[in-house]
Each structure stands twice: as structure tokens, then as C-alpha cells.
Amino acid sequence: MITLLIGENSFEIERTLAEITNGFAGDVEKIDSGKLQLAQLPDILMGISLFATNRVIIIRNLSENKPIWSVFGDWISRISDDIHLVLIESKPDKRTSTYKSLKDNVVIREFQSWTDRDVAKAEKWVIAEAKGQGFSVDAKSAQLLVRRIGVDQWQLFHALEKLALVDFISADVINNVIEPNLSENVFELFETSLRGDIKTLKSMLRILEQSEDVFRLFALLSTQVFQLTAVMSAEKSDNVTKDFGIHPYVVQKLEVVAKRLGKNTISKIVKIFAESDDDMKISKAEPWLLLERALLKVASL
């Protein structure tokens, strides 16, 4: 039997792999695809272990081993019935003959990483996962947790492990126990700039400068500007949350901001970030200085 696990959602892949291997009575073998030689395939895929008749063999990213991958399709029918081969690929080239052979003959499961469009799915997952860990999280707490951390399942899983140790889960507990991710910090940074709170803004930048990548931070801030523009431009019949994958909570807050600032001011903010983006591309000044200057310009509007 062959199972092919595809995708960049490592959490779901690892959980599926655990379902396959946990409780398996035979041997579980992990093969390094980078060191695998063609001459080894007969022993690995057709040979019988001296100590077990049933085997699970796990090979990650075999497609990166071009000499093996190019002929692997010919080996599919030769794999012993005593072997459960699990292939794990993040982005296999689906145009190759080997993938086409696998597609027609094996069990394929795809696991895509969640994006901001999967907020509702993440919130439902948090509630179900908490139940699986032996405690309960209500819908409001799940929403807050996803808003604070994002949709990365590994981070959500570890956050739930922390909350499992708490007697009672509330908004205050989540805010005190769970560290916000960068996106949450960026949202607060942008809000601080929009409020014109220069002192707090500079303090937040000094803290972020110690641990964050300036280009990533600028990209996330630019996303905030785009989202603000989208909310400002939306008609009543538009569904900004669905169309642009923006969290409903963020939409609600940006709607208030957009109404307060108005189209003219938001247009100025877009211009400020566009000019800063150009300056960063030509290294006109030190990146953190350019970022701070952009936010201070916004704060002065």
C-alpha cells in the first residue's frame, strides 16, 4: 500500500502520519531521500525484515532525488504487500510521469496551509481541538484566540496546551497567557499611528526592532493599508470579509477608522506607503528609519 501526503500544512500531515504509525505492531522505518540510491530500492521496497513481516516506510521529499523520482513510477507495482509506504511531499511536480503513476494507483491526501480566508474554519477547529484535549472553549474565546495568534495550527495547538492548564478561560486569561503574533502587533502599531500617539508609536517600534525583520513588518503594514482602502471603497452590497479574506473583527475596526479618517486622508496614507516602498527598494535610507518616518507621517495627518 502507498499513501501520498501532499501540502505545506505540516501540522495536519504530522497528525495523519501519527494516525498511521501509532499502534502499528511492525517496524516503522524512516528513509533519508537525499541519501537514497537506486540500488537500495529492491531491499527497501521488496525485501522482508528479519524481525517483522509488516513495515511502514516513511520517505519525505523523494521528488527532490531526481534519479530515483524519475523511475519510481516503475516500482509502484513491485512494492511488497507487507509494506505500507508513506511518501510526504510539500510541492510535488504534478506534471511528472511518476506523479501521474502515483495518482492512478495510490491513496493521495492533500493538506493545504490555512490562510486568512480560513478564519471561520480555524475557530471551529479550536473548539473541536480543545474538546479533544479535555476542556472546552466557547465561540467567543476561539475567535479571540485566532485573532491573537492567527490561523497557524501549530501555534493554535500549543496555545491550547497552555490554556488546558488554566481553570477558567476568559478574554483576560487569553490576553495574559498567550503571546500575540506579529500580525496582531502590526495591527496595534498601525492603530497607534492612526491615533497620532507618537510617543507610544516610537516605543513600540523600538521593541519590534529588537526581534522583527523590518521588511516583513513593512509588508504587513502595507497589507493593513490595503485592507483599510478596501474597507473604505466597499459598497454596502460588498462582502469585504469574503472577497479579501479579512477577519470580520478587523473589518469592523477598520470600518470605524475609515469613517473617521475619510477618503482624502486614506488616499494620503496610501501615497505615504507607496513612496516609502519605493525608497526601500532603492535603499534611500536605513529601512527602520524609512518605516518610522512613514508611520510618523501617518500619525501627523
Q: For 91-100, how does the pLDDT look when each residue is reduced to its tens digit (9 = 90+)?
A: 999 899 999 9
- Among residues 60, 57, 45, the alpha carbon closest in space to that of 6 is found at 60
Contact 83, 3 (CB under 8 A): no
| Alpha helix ranges (H) inside the chain | 10-21, 41-45, 66-72, 97-105, 119-132, 139-149, 153-163, 171-177, 182-195, 198-209, 214-233, 240-244, 248-281, 287-299
Tell me what the mean pLDDT of segment 145-163 comes to: 91
Tell me what the mean pLDDT of segment 157-169 comes to: 92
User: What is the distance between the alpha carbons of residues 140 and 169, in angstroms, rounded to a whole number?
Assistant: 11
Q: What residues form DSSP beta bridges with 87?
A: 4, 59
Tell me what the mean pLDDT of segment 173-195 comes to: 83
pLDDT tops 60 at residue 71: yes
- Among residues 10, 228, 13, the alpha carbon closest in space to that of 108 is found at 13
User: Residue 121 has what pLDDT?
Assistant: 92
Tell which CATH architecture fits domain 182-299: Up-down Bundle (1.20)
The domain limits of the chain are: 2-110, 116-177, 182-299
Tell me what the mean pLDDT of segment 113-120 comes to: 84
Q: For 206-265, how does the pLDDT look when each residue is reduced to its tens digit (9 = 90+)?
A: 888 887 889 988 998 998 899 889 888 888 777 877 777 777 777 888 888 888 888 999
Scan for cell 494620503, then name that residue: 268
> What is the CATH code of the structural domain delimited by 116-177?
1.10.8
> From its phi and psi, is residue 23 left (phi > 0), alpha (psi between -120 and 50) or beta?
left
3.40.50.300, 3.60.150.10, 3.30.465.10, 3.30.1120.80: CATH of 2-110:
3.40.50.300
User: Residue 288 has what pLDDT?
Assistant: 92
**Domains 2-110 and 116-177 agree in fold:** no
Contact 228, 258 (CB under 8 A): yes
User: pTM surpassing 0.75?
Assistant: no
